[in-house]
Amino acid sequence: MKPDNHGETVPCEAADACGQVHACDHISRVLARISDKWSLLVVRVLGQGPLRFNALRREVGEISQKVLASTLRELEENGFVSRTVTPTTPPQVEYALTDLGQEFLDPVRGLAEWVVANSARMDAARAAYAKRRGID
């Protein structure tokens, strides 16, 4: 939902009639960048405090070095994560949430809590679906 030209809220599907497709497209692009599995897990882990790359990788779990590096670059590009290089030998790199990342942590935690609270219902729905479809 978003405001129309008169300040009233209209569903994104109706945005074409109001000439506000841009806002829905923007929302879709941003959600695509920040709502993948790894981004949410990295934000959740960094919510506990700054970490170096390998420590972050251990905390996140089964993520490849390549995928973690790519995820961190995207989060940094979008302003959620900061990367600090300490000029030592070898250089130390630490990742932390920015203010924007800290703000994003609240909805991430809310989503995680919702998933935990509703996992049994989703499992039951999958089982019922499989039964209806004759899938073992």
At 8-64, the pLDDT tens digits run 455 555 555 555 777 888 888 888 888 888 999 999 999 999 999 999 999 999 999
Residue 57's φ and ψ, nearest 5 degrees, are -60, -45
SS3 83: strand
For 33, counting Cβ atoms within 10 Å of its Cβ (0-12 exposed, 13-18 middle, 19+ buried), the class is middle
Report, as an integer, the average pLDDT of 105-131. Answer: 93
- How does strand 51-52 pair with strand 92-97? antiparallel
pLDDT at position 63, please? 96
Residue 75: count of CB within 10 angstroms of its CB: 26
Report, as an integer, the average pLDDT of 76-105. Answer: 95
Q: How far is CA 6 from the centre of its chain?
A: 32
Q: What is the pTM of this model?
A: 0.74
pLDDT at position 14, please? 53
